[in-house]
Chains A and B, each alone.
Chain A
Amino acid sequence: MRHRQAIALLAVVGLFVALYLWLHALGFGGPIKCGTGSCETVQTSPWAIFLGLPVALYGVVGYLALLIVAMLSLRPSALVQNGWNLLLLMLATIGLLFTAYLTYVELFLIHAICRWCVGSALIIMAIWVVAVLAAKREWGEGSGTSRPTE
């Protein structure tokens, strides 16, 4: 249970990071608050759009999906069901792979780093690690368990 709670809390933080970047991409607010980073360079590059939509929107959708699944998995009836940890791990892996692609683009194509993107990358990495631990624990105890295991 603790693992799923941790994923939910991390997903809330990631959701708001992605939300800020998405609203900024839509033109809300002034220049992006980035300290000494190069967020403007990243946000206005051709790679800030993926399949016709702002990259940050994928982050909003991804974190929202993780949050919803994590919250659903915390219902008393779901705590005794198998499969939720696997679903969370799948979602986290998709997010991690997409983040890896974006980090590659930042480092080797745009040659600029956006601190908000680094923050999001750390959050999704943490979610993935927690999801791996949760799945490992579930598998370690064998499938078919019928009690809350975390």
Chain B
Amino acid sequence: MNRFYAMVGVLAVVLGIGVFALLRTGGGTAPAAAAGPPPTVVDDSFRGYSLGQGSAPVEIVEYLDFECPVCASFATIQMPTIKEQLINTGKVRWRYRDFPLAVHKYSRFAAHAAQCAGAQGRFFEMHDQLFNHHQWAQTGKDPSDLFRSFAQAAGVDLKAYDACMEGGRYAARIEFSRQEGDQLLVDGTPTFYANGKKLFPGLRRLPSSDDFKAVADSIIAHAPPKPRTQPEREHLRH
């Protein structure tokens, strides 16, 4: 019996060391902007980059994590149809908010890279780069150089990008968005809201473009008729 207890003890120690080693290895050196939330968070009144017309009757807010594979699937598979059917037709305006999950080491860094590209008017191009080449999220390696090449491909001026990244200029903005998501009870990524109402709370799968079309059509059908005004200028990207 004593031999058995010794066996349990040895097994627990060996497995404990194994778990510790697994948690320690991999990941590389985290760049400054990826290290964690900043000590102070200030509301800079920024509420996310949006796609679509300002007059669209439906605003969908997406809380996303750039390292999340489900977000990448959604961005690459569902979004092209949503853009074509709902955003480009003026029905929906789509707003992106950051919600970096603690489980992902480089989420904040990726969100920061997108914000730094956004400062140069290249948020959407960087967003596409990060999601279209999502293999970076599977390697666990420091993606600094890769993100620089994404930024270059997105048409970003690298000198300004480097200064923005090194200074962690938008770290507080990203944390503000995450805290906002916490208040709205975002419980995973991607999470969506339509005109402020949380979407698909009971849905046990990733929503499709058809789901969003149904939501948009329902909101538009139940909206009170608007008096005709001067045609508004279209902003597909602002």
- Using CB atoms and an 8 Å cutoff, list the residues of chain A in contact with chain B: 5, 8-9, 12-13, 16, 19-20, 23-31, 33, 38, 40-41, 43-49, 52, 71, 74, 105, 109
Contact = CB atoms under 8 A, between A and B. Distances in A.
Q: Which of A38, A43, A45, A52 has the most CB of B within 10 A?
A: A45
B204 interface: yes
A105 B204 CA distance: 9
Interface in B114-168: 137-140
Contacts of A44: 65, 68-70, 101, 103-104, 188-189
Contacts of B138: 31, 40
Contact of A49 (B27, B139, B188): B188
B77 interface: no
A30 B139 CA distance: 10
A31 B70 contact: no
B140 A31 contact: yes
Interface residues of B, number: 35
Given A13-B11, A20-B22, A31 B105 contact: yes
B221 interface: no
B57 interface: no
B8 interface: yes
B103 A24 contact: yes
B25 interface: yes
Interface of B: 1, 4, 7-8, 11-12, 15-16, 18-19, 22-28, 65, 68-70, 101-105, 137-140, 187-189, 204-205
Contacts of A8: 8
Contacts of A47: 204
A45 B23 contact: no
A71 B24 CA distance: 31
B8 A9 contact: yes
B103 A27 contact: yes
Given A13-B15, A16-B19, A44-B69, A30 B102 contact: no
Nearest to A5: B4
Contacts of B103: 24-27, 43-44
Contacts of B28: 30
Contact of A31 (B19, B26, B187, B204): B26
A31 B107 CA distance: 11
A44 to B, nearest CB: 5
Given A9-B11, A46-B187, A28 B23 contact: yes
Contacts of B19: 16, 19-20, 23
Q: Which residue, of B23, B26, B101, B140, has the highest number of chain A Cβ atoms within 10 A?
A: B23
A50 to B, nearest CB: 11
Nearest to B24: A29
Contact of A12 (B12, B23, B204): B12
A20 B19 CA distance: 6
Nearest to B72: A41
B12 A48 contact: no
B22 A29 contact: yes
A103 to B, nearest CB: 15
B26 A29 contact: yes
A20 B7 CA distance: 21
A30 B8 contact: no
A19 B137 CA distance: 23
A11 B8 CA distance: 10
Nearest to A38: B69
Given A26-B102, A30-B27, A45 B137 contact: no
Contact of A16 (B15, B105, B204): B15
Contacts of B7: 9
13 contacts: A12-B8, A16-B12, A16-B18, A24-B103, A26-B103, A28-B23, A29-B23, A31-B26, A31-B27, A40-B69, A44-B189, A71-B8, A105-B204
